[in-house]
Amino acid sequence: MWVEKRIVNGKSRYKFIERYRSELTGKYRKVSVTYSKNNASVRKEATFTLQQLIDKRLKNERSSTSDITLEDLSKKFLNLYEQQVAYTTYYSAKRGLKRFCNDMGNNVLAKKITTQILNKYLDERLYNENKHLSNAGIQLVKKHISLMFKYAVKYGYLADDPVKNVEIAWRSETKEKREKIENKYFTDDEYKAIMTDCDQRNRQDMKDIFEWLFLTGMRFSEAAALQIKNIQIEDGNYVAKVTGSMFIYRKKDVPEGEKRYTKSDSAKTIAGNRTVILPDQAVKIYERNKAGKNADDFLFINSISGFPMRETAANRFLKRVAERQKIDKKFTTHMFRHTHVSKLAEMGIPLYVIQERVGHSNSKITEQVYLHVTKKVQDNLIEKLNQLAPSVTPKDDNKND
């Protein structure tokens, strides 16, 4: 609190002023009271009165914001969230909350959403007969809703967080988890079928990036974001510097001065920022794709669209490959990464070395593939060891020499 002295009609007047921070805007505002005197008694009374004024204003702010709708709350949260996270993370939350608000009703008051309502909503989406979400999918939905309601409590829009005590009746996914680990990576025949199909379709661009993923174990977004300047020579070896991932703005979301196809400032994880040694075949792919490009240009370009590679387009292409080759297996670009892990495991490369190469500080799938393949190698070794020694007829102890 501070005091400003003024002369009004020849008499001294004392204005007592205090600042407070608005919970609605985050900005500082002032309240004041004026007295004809400035002594200890007046200052004590002014302090009490100013605090009452502040409490009243804050209470009015809270009561006015308690009637915020879900749609308005989501917009306010997303405006802040967009500044805090990568575009792909923001857009995922935007899509998830749009669906949530539509399902609940955009004009429903946020304060009307209870823990019981959320329990029912999440369970219904988890057990939907027509199109249910996986447990992991529901976790993501819950995460987005939780972030929004935590924001609401933090900024005074709500008094309590209804997500805090949500309990989801998780669906049993034992059957799905029994899926063979072999379905996480390509067999040699499947990989050859993909390469052959690319040749038949005259899609050297797809073949190159698929083979690159197979040879390096990179994520698709990492390979798509490689620029010519990221391929360098160190200690006589060609290496790829993984420094970011490709993400694509929706046309209406492209920031001013930015391009729709953009490289992030860093890889997906801390371990993802790494240097990958390139085998000779990968170097050939680099040499073929760098022709006529500048240092900042992307290495891999879709030959049909003329734009950088998109994972969705590559996955659609792989789906058609499986159909054309009559292979009953869901093909995805991420399987090249797992195939790379399986091949290194077959070669006896230690798991920690593989994790460092593919940019995984910790990955359950990587470990599963590694352990599965190494067990197969050990089983084959035992079988071969059993065949190693020639058959020897047991000596008949009763036979005289």
Query: Does the pLDDT of residue 350 top 70, yes or no?
Result: yes
197 and 170 in a single domain? The answer is no
Domain count of the chain?
3
The whole domain housing 91 covers 70-177
Q: In this structure, is residue 246 part of a structural domain?
A: yes
Query: Does the pLDDT of residue 401 top 60, yes or no?
Result: no
The proportion of the chain whose per-residue pLDDT surpasses 70, expressed as a percent, equals 85
Count of CB atoms situated within 10 Å of the CB of 278: 20
78 and 56 in a single domain? The answer is no
Query: Does the pLDDT of residue 385 top 80, yes or no?
Result: no
Euclidean distance between CA atoms 104 and 206, whole angstroms: 42
86 and 208 in a single domain? The answer is no
Domain boundary residue, one of 177, 211, 233: 177
Find the mean pLDDT for residues 252-261.
65
Q: In this structure, is residue 346 part of a structural domain?
A: no
Query: Does the pLDDT of residue 325 top 70, yes or no?
Result: yes
Nearest to 25 by CA among 177, 189, 202, 155: 155
Higher pLDDT, 256 or 335: 335
Mean predicted lDDT score pLDDT of the chain: 86
Nearest to 219 by CA among 333, 301, 89: 333
Query: Does the pLDDT of residue 383 top 80, yes or no?
Result: no
Euclidean distance between CA atoms 246 and 262, whole angstroms: 6
pLDDT in tens, 144-187: 999 999 999 998 888 889 999 999 988 876 655 556 777 888 99
Q: In this structure, is residue 218 part of a structural domain?
A: yes
247 and 129 in a single domain? The answer is no
DSSP state at residue 36 = S
pLDDT band (50, 70, 90) for residue 106:
very high
Euclidean distance between CA atoms 310 and 248, whole angstroms: 8
59 and 105 in a single domain? The answer is no
11-21, strands of its sheet edge to edge:
2-8, 11-21, 28-35
pLDDT band (50, 70, 90) for residue 202:
very high
Query: Does the pLDDT of residue 61 top 80, yes or no?
Result: no
Predicted local confidence at residue 180, as pLDDT: 72
Predicted local confidence at residue 388, as pLDDT: 67
314 and 244 in a single domain? The answer is yes
Please say whether the beta carbons of 15 and 34 come within 8 A. yes
Q: Per mean pLDDT, which range of 57-66, 109-118, 281-290 is the poorest?
A: 57-66
CATH of the domain at 112: 1.10.150.130
Crossing angle for the helix pair 135-154 and 115-126, to the nearest 10 degrees: 160
Euclidean distance between CA atoms 269 and 86, whole angstroms: 12
Predicted local confidence at residue 292, as pLDDT: 93
Query: Does the pLDDT of residue 192 top 60, yes or no?
Result: yes
CA dihedral 248, 252, 256, 262 (to 10 degrees): 0
pLDDT in tens, 17-43: 999 988 767 788 999 999 999 999 999
60 and 98 in a single domain? The answer is no
Highest mean pLDDT among 76-90, 212-226, 254-268: 212-226
Nearest to 215 by CA among 337, 298, 108, 60: 337
DSSP string, 272-341: TSEEEEPPHHHHHHHHHHHTT--TTSBS-B-TTT-SB--HHHHHHHHHHHHHHTT--S---THHHHHHHH
Predicted local confidence at residue 400, as pLDDT: 52
257 and 327 in a single domain? The answer is yes
Q: Supply angle C-alpha 127, 128, 132, rounded to 5.
A: 80
End-to-end CA distance of the chain: 117
CATH of the domain at 268: 1.10.443.10
pLDDT band (50, 70, 90) for residue 399:
low
Query: Does the pLDDT of residue 363 top 70, yes or no?
Result: no
Predicted local confidence at residue 97, as pLDDT: 97
The proportion of the chain whose per-residue pLDDT surpasses 90, expressed as a percent, equals 57
Predicted local confidence at residue 183, as pLDDT: 82
Find the mean pLDDT for residues 111-133.
90
